[in-house]
Amino acid sequence: MSMKFIKRIPTADEIIEEIPLPNHIKDIKETRDKDIRNILENKDERFILIIGPCSADNEDSVCEYIGKLAQVQEQVKDSILIIPRIYTNKPRTTGEGYKGMAHQPDPSKKPDLFEGIKAIRKMHLRALSEYYMPAADEMLYPENYTYLSDVLGYIAIGARSVENQQHRLAVSGVNAPVGMKNPTSGDLSVMLNSIIAAQQGHTFTYSGWEVETTGNQLTHAILRGAVDSNGRNIPNYHYEDLIRIAQDYEKLQLLNPSIIVDTNHANSMKCYSEQPRIAREVLMSRKYDTLLKKMIKGLMIESYLEEGKQGIGENIYGKSITDACLGWESTEKLIYNIAENV
């Protein structure tokens, strides 16, 4: 076997026992979880905003950013529910580059998954304990979810994972809302099939066990644009795209049909500064059509303390080392604008 076994990774139970969620925070999280659920079940008319860095590379800067979000949340609480992005695993198309804090708790040092697992839980716990907003993370590796299952408020399945059987089955056993992104090809049937699969119960192997799930009724769609065979970005946030997917979604008669629009990635043509314009267009389409008003439940936005991105080793505090992000000044204006137009 061409594989070197480096060290045993602690189980989720061992990590949770070592780094527990305080009891008083459990109650706060349960209330927030109920708020998110109510929006997706059409029991609450507020708009969801999943917002934060492309990847969470530094605990202090991420928590400082979330502290700013918490202040704005209080101002827009009647119209928007903010879910901070704390993305601790970063998919890499070629396998090269920074793979997130779970792999490298310090981006300037070698990978250390033993310490990385602890680091991501500590960061999620600190943000939740200080600011009372359960965060979103990407389920890049289905088994890693167990280390964060009691702290996450929202989970995303990425464009390269949405077609994977293990991801779909694992989501069927998750209690948190899960957004399934359309694949990079843009084939919406792949995304819809993943939602169908995840809303059903299954029996399969997971973490060395035979498990049985009941299905996740809060699994829903995330539109992130596509890439054609020539490498060109193809947005899918325009009115014609939104109404088509909403109608196809409705015909399937799935539980809690909901759409989140990702304003970056292929939708922005990888141009982070276009995100405010895209957000405004989506909100206009939502106002124009009653089906879209009902089905589009929120936006996903990439934002950090400093705008743009940097290379590893440049050490600019609060600036992304993966995809470029909006800076805080633009972010704050955007959130208030969204609150006025939902």
pLDDT tens digits for range 149-181: 999 999 999 999 999 999 999 999 999 999 999
Tell me the residue type at 186. Answer: G
Would you place residue 92 in the very low, low, confident or very high pLDDT band (cuts 50, 70, 90)? confident
Q: Tokens 């349960």 — which residue?
A: 30
If you average pLDDT over residues 199-220, what whole number do you get? Answer: 97
User: Does residue 7 belong to any structural domain of this protein?
Assistant: no
Q: What's the Cα-to-Cα distance from 256 to each of 107, 189, 195, 217, rounded to whole Å?
A: 39, 18, 11, 7
Percentage of the chain with pLDDT > 90?
A: 94
User: Does residue 5 belong to any structural domain of this protein?
Assistant: no
Q: What's the Cα-to-Cα distance from 91 to each of 88, 94, 95, 211, 296, rounded to whole Å?
A: 10, 9, 8, 26, 26
User: Does residue 109 belong to any structural domain of this protein?
Assistant: yes
User: Does residue 232 belong to any structural domain of this protein?
Assistant: yes
User: Does residue 274 belong to any structural domain of this protein?
Assistant: yes
Q: How many domains does the chain have?
A: 1
- Asked which of 67-76, 89-98, 231-240 is least confident by mean pLDDT, the reply is 89-98
User: Does residue 3 belong to any structural domain of this protein?
Assistant: no
User: Does residue 6 belong to any structural domain of this protein?
Assistant: no
CA distance 22 to 131: 14
Instruction: Tell me: pLDDT of 77 over 80.
Output: yes
**Cβ neighbours of residue 179 closer than 8 Å, sequence gap 6 or more:** 50, 154, 155, 156, 157, 219, 220, 221, 222, 260, 300
Would you place residue 1 in the very low, low, confident or very high pLDDT band (cuts 50, 70, 90)? low
Would you place residue 2 in the very low, low, confident or very high pLDDT band (cuts 50, 70, 90)? confident
The two structure tokens encoding residue 211: 């498990």
User: Does residue 2 belong to any structural domain of this protein?
Assistant: no
Supply the CATH number for residue 101's domain: 3.20.20.70
What is the extent of the structural domain holding 296? 12-341
